[in-house]
Structure 1
């Protein structure tokens, strides 16, 4: 349906949809980049902190399932305003958290508020704008969301460096408040609201919440328990998947399901969903490893790592703008999608080949290629996946896609963490086996460092222990850098495989 507003108000609404999504992208980007500093801030172990990361995904997936019910019952004006208010309340609670349980509950609350913003705003584009205005609305939606997402790493680094980790949660609140005011003022009161009564059933929702809790907690703990407690991890994951299968079977039989699976069996949509999964897995794994690689592997300062991440995101923004401007003139999208996957393969291979002393500037070309991947693969997939669903089924298709997005992101991070941990142990053992502290080279290095430490006022015993600790840190850093290189080579191979799959498949052309 097209709404006959004044042109200025219509344009503001287009920008508002992008802002609403961008607020969530910005906050999550800052959280991911600053995760290690937040861990230290609440004095939590990385294993414990995994539940904080899972909490947001659990809240998000629950709200994505509920989103259409809530929008039909209350309308998008009230739903978005309330969701943004809940998101801000969760952000304030995160900033004030003093320990792990408080931060976990606050992130769960924030997930309830922000989880379905992306789905809702994207669904509103065809709902609020007619065919003539829709291209401009989509352009504004994507460009604002991409721009705010690009600012996340740099802003996060600057906030942590100068004011502390709590500001990571506070920084997005003014924009969220602006989006909430805009939703209340600009959104039509009856947008999305159903005329017939909406039936409520708590059972399926509770079943889904239990299923995603088990799946997300299993994936979050996989990096820590994959080798120590594989049986317990497998039982948790299988129970979650079993409950999820039960939920989906129930939805297939239900007259008014929360997730309309029966209407989404179109081959083009399913092929697109598969390529979406590939993109989110590749993007999630590369996004997980880069801060570790840059800060801990290469020793790049936090603020510089933020600049590098933002540079790559700005390349994505530029590539997205170019695709929006020129993509319609290219009838065949498969070469573009394959080029996007190949760009990530090139980026991953280059990063895997960097020497230990590589300066930040040496990473720019690889990060530019990674930025190209961020737009060239997913944007053509987005344009092709939903084309045969029609406006009526588009909302259901996008809901299912974003559920898959949450699972793919957690799965990719867990797989990357397990691979990195396994390779780090193997590489550290290999390096240690080649170090002989009695050899002339190692002995001269240790003696020189001990002499320097003794000159600074340490006793002979203290200088020896400090020198050995320094050697241990060097071994750990080198092992981590080698492990990141191994993971990047695996990513390059997977990206090449994705390019082959894209070229071979015949559904999305």
Structure 2
């Protein structure tokens, strides 16, 4: 154990190391908060810009598509101005994007503003994590990681409840104003705590910038935007009824594959796919993608179930989600302190997915119209408690064989996969819920006997009956989808216990 907190920064005391880790986490949290608030307040924001569901999808996908581009160009930018400079620049762009969102009057302006915000904030996670790898030896990283967890996951935890309160009391524009204020505070924290690059930064010139492979950036950016938009379309359209909706994600995936083929032919470009080898890393990315898919599906399904199925208010749902995510933050901190050296890692990874499977199964089997919060909360807490085993365990093990030179490439790719997989999970959740609701609604309507209604019902009775049928359809579809999630997590747990690369 070194005598100083960080051997690379021997002048920093333990409080300064904690502040540095917190700043690294808060920079990551800027990205997490932006996506969480946008997803939580989507319905209210759409009403604020008078957008149709189809048009508003561009708002939801513009941020994610720009974030993919940000992750691709991160290392090239950092080579010029350092990761500290790239983080500060990204935060400034995110501030501008948030303010542009706050003053947007229509869906086109909001989509462009969210693209600006995503371009600034989308690469902050990879930049922060790469800095931890550069600044700390393996035995020292826990000193940065636990305050990192507080900043990243802690900011994300308060987002649902804060969004609900601001939406109800101040309007949708205030969530972007708050994001801008928070990002300004994070910029000041980063500027005061991040170490400067030891060697002088390379000053880019126009010739150097022009020589970079911008065609790959354009192709990958367009492909990611089309792919994510195509997956977002699944929230509205059913693939069985509108098969052409599948052309969007297929076209986007084709462009993404072409971009990576080009990167492979130009290994010194933005990202070198040849540095992504190693079965441990590839298995880790697979588990990262799996977690992102389940996370996107869960984060879409649960708020819809709480509000549309169980009848909880927007504020109550936000408060519950904040409480459960805060519990997950506490569990993650305990894991960083005491669980980083747990033996038998495959068993703990499998345990995490068994916990998600159990929470999904418990939720599915106890769904009813008058379900109380007292019965819901333990299930959500069980799911939150799985985060250290399903996410942090993989994060610790995936990069053990990755050299310091390969790490930026590996983490850039991992975050690109995370963005695409989360969009896939949300799309699958929307499709599953839509299909399940349609089937359930058909069966429920068939069971309505007009002779038992005592003649032709009034419009009020019909409206009440329709609302009850919609609520029951949501409950039935959610229960079926949660059962499928539970079975899927059970299969992943079996695979985790069987595989041998993440030891």
* 1:377-435 C-alpha deviation (Å, 9 max, x unpaired): 11111111000012221111111100000000000000110111111111111000000
SS in 2 for 1:387: coil
Q: Which residue of 2 aligns with 1:284?
A: 296
Give ranges in structure 2 of 5+ residues lacking alignment. 1-6
Tell me how far apart the structure 2 counterparts of residues 328 and 84 of structure 1 sit (CA, whole Å). Answer: 31
1:33 matches 2:40: yes
SS in 1 for 2:405: helix
- Among 469, 474, 483, the alignment partner of 2:477 is 483
SS in 2 for 1:432: helix
Tell me how far apart the structure 1 counterparts of residues 219 and 433 of structure 2 sit (CA, whole Å). Answer: 34
Tell me how far apart the structure 2 counterparts of residues 65 and 239 of structure 1 sit (CA, whole Å). Answer: 20
Q: CA deviation at 1:315?
A: 2.0
Q: Which residue of 2 aligns with 1:173?
A: 180
Whichever of the two has the greater Rg, that structure is 1
* 1:117-171 C-alpha deviation (Å, 9 max, x unpaired): 1010110012123456422011211222121111111111111122122222222
1:470 matches 2:467: no
- Among 124, 127, 136, the alignment partner of 1:117 is 124
TM-score, reference length from structure 2 = 0.93
- Among 358, 376, 389, the alignment partner of 2:389 is 376
Query: How do 1:411-430 residues align onto structure 2 when only pairs under 5 Å count?
Result: 411-430=424-443
1:126 matches 2:139: no
1:163 matches 2:157: no
SS in 2 for 1:424: helix
CA RMSD of aligned residues (A): 2.0
Tell me how far apart the structure 1 counterparts of residues 376 and 227 of structure 2 sit (CA, whole Å). Answer: 36
- Among 473, 487, 493, the alignment partner of 2:487 is 493
More displaced, 2-11 or 475-484?
A: 2-11
- Among 2, 6, 9, the alignment partner of 1:3 is 9
Figure out how many residues of one structure are paired with residues of the other and give that number: 490
- The 8 Å contact of residues 440 and 473 in structure 2, kept in 1 or not, is answered as yes
Query: How do 1:41-190 residues align onto structure 2 when only pairs under 5 Å count?
Result: 41-131=48-138, 133-190=140-197
* 1:220-262 C-alpha deviation (Å, 9 max, x unpaired): 1133344377443333333222222221111112141211110
Q: Which residue of 2 aligns with 1:343?
A: 355
Q: Which residue of 1 aligns with 2:230?
A: 218
* 1:345-371 C-alpha deviation (Å, 9 max, x unpaired): 111112212211111221011101111
Give ranges in structure 1 of 5+ residues lacking alignment. 448-463
Q: Which residue of 2 aligns with 1:457?
A: none
Q: CA deviation at 1:192?
A: 9.0
Tell me how far apart the structure 1 counterparts of residues 198 and 300 of structure 2 sit (CA, whole Å). Answer: 38
SS in 1 for 2:450: coil
From the superposition, tell whether residues 255 and 360 of structure 1 become closer, same or farther in structure 2 (CA, over 3 Å): closer
